[in-house]
Amino acid sequence: MIKRFTRVSAMAMMALGFIQPLAAQVRLQSSTGNAISVDFKMEAYGHTTVSTSQGEAFLYTFEHAARLQEKGAPDLPKYTRSVIIPDNAKMVMEVIPGEFEEFTNVLVAPSKGVITRDKDPQQIPFTFGKEYTENKFYPEELATLASPYIIRDFRGQAISFNPIQYNPVTKTVRIYKGITVKLIAKGNSTVNAIQRTASLSEVDGTFAPLYANHFLNYSSSRYTPIGETGGKMLIICPASYMDEIAPFVAWKNSIGIQTQVVDYATIGSAAALKTYVTNYYNQNGLTFLLLVGDNAQVPTSSTTAGDSDNNYGYIVGSDHYLDIFVGRFSAETEAQVTTQVNRTIYYERDLSASDASISKGVGIASNEGGTGGDDGESDEVHMGNIKTDLQGYGYTISNCYQNGGSASSLSTLINNGTGIINYVGHGSNTSWASMVYTSANVSALTNVNKYPFIISVACVVGNFKSLTCFAETWLRATYNNQPTGALVFCGSTINQSWASPMCAQDKMNDLLVANTYKLYGGMFVNGMFQMIDEYSTDGMNMADTWTIFGDPSVYMRTPSHPNGPTATTSCGVPANLVASNVAQTSATLTWGAVTSASSYGLRYKLSSATTWVDVASLTATSYNLSGLTANSTYDFQVKTTCASGTSAYSATKQFTTTASASCGVPASLAASNIAQTSANLTWGAVTSATSYALRYKLSTATAWTSVASITATSYSLSGLTASSIYDFQVSATCASGTSAYSATTQFTTLSAGGSYCAVGSTRFSYEWIAKVAMNTFTNSSAGSAYTDYTSKIIALATGSNTVTLTPGFASSAYSEYWAVYIDYNNDYDFDDSGELVFSGNGTAAVTGTITVPTSATGSTRLRVVMKYNAAPAACGTSYGDGEAEDYTVTFSGTTPPLPTTYCTSKGNSSTDEWISKVVIGSFQNVSTASGYTDFSAKTVSVTAGQSYAVTLTPSFSGSAYSEFWKVWIDINGDGDFTDSGEELFSNSGSAAVSGTITIPANLALNTRMRISMKYNAAPTACESFSYGEVEDYTVAITRGSGRQEFTDPVTETSILSIFPNPASTTATLQLNDSYLGDVQLMVIAMDGKVVYSQQEAKPDNAFEICLPVTQLAKGTYSVVVFEGAKKISKRLIVE
């Protein structure tokens, strides 16, 4: 039935009384194996009026409604709930509309889209999108079905109801009082399908209330919860924190949470950790994951949204609904771990149920938001509604809003004792920014034994990866060495959206007052589930990056549940675990006696394994293990059995069995027969090796590709990428064990255009190429018929370059003939005119020059051939005695003008920290500790005007420290780093830092780069400092690959004059502007190839350059001049 109302004005609608939002209801009508029926009822709705560019407009809402959030489209509410669906069915939706009303002559305001909390929604104007020109109702569907997802045991699907539709052209609002949705299983679906090996009869007791609250059709009577307050916890912890976390492990075990600790060093990376957690969940079952340490100790994972500890908890299915509860004790010292352990144990075990702080709370809200929040609420209205709910539950809530609150008043409330804090507003890395409260304020708190749990909606307060964020400060805070701060804090690693986290915060507090959850993790995660249901992709992004700092299993002490959990046994946990008499396959394990113990249980395993070997009913306090694997690390734990029950297992202790004999590391790694997509890799044999393992990767990648069980000392790779630098390493496997991997060796695949002819001698035992030196580049080598050194880059400048070629002899010296070839035109041969660039002969080193033409740009192949007693050719593999070597050569515009000396800079001590890896674009260099290292023989090839990714990695002998980095390039080649713009990069952190550098267009074509890392303070280019390291490199500049885009309009062409134009012999270029300094001139042909390059100093406003054109073919060219960062272009015709 339809009730139609026409000509209703805004004032008339307000008279209907629908101003404040009222509740809607969703009820499950029926749920069988393959069919589900759900009814939506809306008895009343509300609206508010806003000002837009088209006049006063309405925003409709009803209680607990989310917004569609499609920017520019009508801003309308929706209501979302989830149901459990069959494991692998495709659900088809049937929508049955109910009675509706229509109102005409109504303007509905457009949506502002998803707004992050670094902005104020009230300051963002309403923008009317294309939907306002379309004569149809929006949204078109009365209900929609989201993609299926999995939460541990169940497959779910969210239904969204759209009871209000709007036609912007006719200005008609249609409001439905009821909508019925029927879901029917038709066929199969592979989207997040569950493949069960047995029917489900039991569920984790910690997740049972989550299922009941989240799914409309969950039936608790069908499934038996296992352990309402139990579950299993996995703790990932560095070995250095094991002793500090041990009391926490013992406490959790004592209250029924089966807890195991694993050393992160046995896992090794974020990707490996995600795999480890997934396997652990599948093999052992898992409820809680606790990471102990900062990012440097146990790294966070990531999703497309940002840094994400929660990504470790996405296990079943490919969705963003957590399958376990994830938290972090973020700590950089043992003391910080102890602080969080002691605070948690005190709160759960020792805090009196009558403590007044339990029933107190604080609400904090910004004065912004307007109608942009969830349910159309401002931050203050939102927090007021939460206050009403909490006070009805028994809390006494104090406001500390942006309007009227202060840092001092909040500190007083916390120091006097408060059990819960809700915050909604702006944030920064180190503060709440609405009613400003900083990390310094937190550190000054004195609230010993009065610890609130905190629900924070704010930007980046949990951004912990490379700094100590606001959330971490709450968990690390102490006063007189006693814990203060917060029990647990949820903080985002990214800018949070305005509305969606408010939805989650509402849900968390609703669940708290409904007595649905006693554990912080359950309350937090269920709130996020509702947020994902309602806000889809935006909700997923928020869920990925909202981090629990603290114990996710912590038991919240509330007015209705003031008591903490109780220990289930009083039987002591064994201590003083020791491994002695450790041999290749055996060890003796001992532990301290426990009073009243009747027996002990021992379990042990390889550290890399997940399954324990149990030894039960031991009456002594020692046990001899046998049958172990040599050269392997083992974990072991012990528990006690008493008359009163069984204790938890002890903290894990480790020992490593001895190796039977060492297995040598392969050496003499080499790459040959390199083509575009293939290469042959070889290495020297290792005595007693039974097989070898090879791993290789692109030099810019982090993940290796491994090839195991190779019985030969060579292997042919295929499927490689052309024009790419690869790393490879080899390890040996012997009967006694496996060696470490060798040092990294590199090779470069050929460009995609073709391959070079083979070259090499038939014998090199009498003579060989011992050393190649060109300008500052040198390479020394032993004998080989042919060696591919294309991973080594020789920088040559236009004009004259020095070359020295040195032979090596087994005994007598012979007359050797030399030839150097350069493939200038990149056509994969050395046959063209001018490509034999050097020749000479003698019985010792030969010296000369290579003259590079001004047209040479980019990079290409350089070949050095030495032949006994006759001039060598560029190709051929059977020319007798001698050797051939290939290199990569890059060209720049002038003879390399590197100053002979630069100012001194170094770290006086590099034993604690040093530069271990430098990556700039495709260039990388790995090094060991040194106060200063001159790597100027290593060349970083870059392109003028281009940006390059930079990653600078420190290494530490022990604890990680805060290191400050800077990168300078001597842009004008004047021998210093003091000129404007020569500092190109600056960053700091206790782990690898990343960013970009942009190469100036006016960079000297061959110059010095300096990288400095200094402990705890920003370095200058010329200083000696206490701790850190400095490294120098050579930068070789090219103008791209030698081919430039041929376009005329660039900038300010009136500055450049060319006459005569057309020209036949010479052309004069005149620059008329105020720029003074170096200018770079290029002439570019129609095919994009740079045919001429020159660098000059411009001393006056009017400056002329004489350009010879006789060597240029007739045709049209583009003349490009770089004045610093400014690019000027004009056409030139040569006839």
Q: Which residue numbers are catalytic?
A: 426, 459
Structure-block tokens of residue 10: 């805004």
Q: How many CA atoms lie within 13 A of 986 on its CB side?
A: 8
- In this structure, are residues 1098 and 1076 in contact, taking their beta carbons and an 8 Å threshold? yes
Q: Is 1093 exposed, middle or buried (0-12, 13-18, 19+ CB in 10 A)?
A: buried
Measuring CA to CA, which residue among 701, 692, 690, 300 is closest to residue 681? 692
- Residue 268, SS3 per DSSP: coil
- Residue 851, SS3 per DSSP: strand
In sequence order, the 6+-apart residues with CB closer than 8 A to the CB of 786 are 672, 758, 759, 760, 761, 877, 883, 884, 885, 886
CA–CA gap between residue 718 and residue 699 (Å, rounded)? 16
Structure-block tokens of residue 808: 């090596």
- List the beta strands (DSSP E) in 1017-1089: 1024-1038, 1056-1059, 1066-1072, 1077-1084
Q: How many CA atoms lie within 13 A of 237 on its CB side?
A: 26
Length of the chain, in residues: 1135
Q: What is the DSSP string of 560-583?
A: TB-S----S--PPPP---EEES--
Q: How many CA atoms lie within 13 A of 938 on its CB side?
A: 17
- In this structure, are residues 454 and 442 in contact, taking their beta carbons and an 8 Å threshold? no
Q: How many CA atoms lie within 13 A of 161 on its CB side?
A: 30
Partners of 303 in the beta sheet? 306
CA–CA gap between residue 148 and residue 151 (Å, rounded)? 10
Q: What separation, in Å, do the N-terminal and C-terminal C-alpha atoms of the chain show?
A: 85
- In this structure, are residues 1119 and 1088 in contact, taking their beta carbons and an 8 Å threshold? no
How far lies 452's CA from each of 476, 520, 550, in Å? Answer: 14, 12, 12
In sequence order, the 6+-apart residues with CB closer than 8 A to the CB of 812 are none
- In this structure, are residues 236 and 262 in contact, taking their beta carbons and an 8 Å threshold? yes
CA–CA gap between residue 745 and residue 728 (Å, rounded)? 6
CA–CA gap between residue 745 and residue 696 (Å, rounded)? 10
In Å, how far from its chain's centre is CA 261?
Answer: 25
CA–CA gap between residue 144 and residue 159 (Å, rounded)? 6
Measuring CA to CA, which residue among 910, 927, 909 is closest to residue 918? 927
In sequence order, the 6+-apart residues with CB closer than 8 A to the CB of 147 are 157, 191, 192, 319
Per-residue DSSP letter, 1111:
T
- Report the 3 state secondary structure along 682-739: ECCCCCCEEEEEEEEEECCCCCCEEEEEECCCEEEECCCCCCCEEEEEEEEEECCEEC
Q: Please state the φ and ψ torsions of residue 816, each to the nearest 5 degrees.
A: -110, 140
CA–CA gap between residue 1132 and residue 1135 (Å, rounded)? 10
Structure-block tokens of residue 345: 């144990």
Sign of CA dihedral 47, 51, 53, 55: positive
CA–CA gap between residue 256 and residue 236 (Å, rounded)? 19
